[in-house]
Amino acid sequence: MYSDKVMDHFNNPRNMGEIENPDAVGQVGNPVCGDIMKIYLKIKDNKIEDIKFKTFGCGAAIATSSMVTEMAKGKDLEEALKISNKMVAEKLDGLPSEKLHCSNLAADALQDAINDYLNEKDKENNVSEESNA
């Protein structure tokens, strides 16, 4: 049985779609259940200015994707990296135990996208340092 919040985010997902020319993309999947999540980020001044998701999966996967985007939007990257699967499930007033892996995917996809962005920034900084040397 799903909570009212899970059903709301499943029936009315927030931030669904793609961002054109995103600053970062994170993608995770669970081959066992078939859920695949992709999160797109637009980042300005180290804050998540915009976030969208595309999810192929069950209702819980869609609901957790929607909730994680709500939780991360407007946050600075350091704060957003702290969003855990447990926090996502709690914000949705819980998930059935057999669906908890869906909340893991949502937090993992967000962290994957942020790490993608930070890794690219590191590469850019290293290149500019080398060209200044």
Q: Which residues carry out catalysis? A: 33, 102
β-partners of residue 26 are: 39
Assess contact for 100 and 89: CB atoms under 8 A. yes
Measuring CA to CA, how many Å separate 88 from each of 37, 74, 85, 103, 104? 15, 16, 5, 6, 9
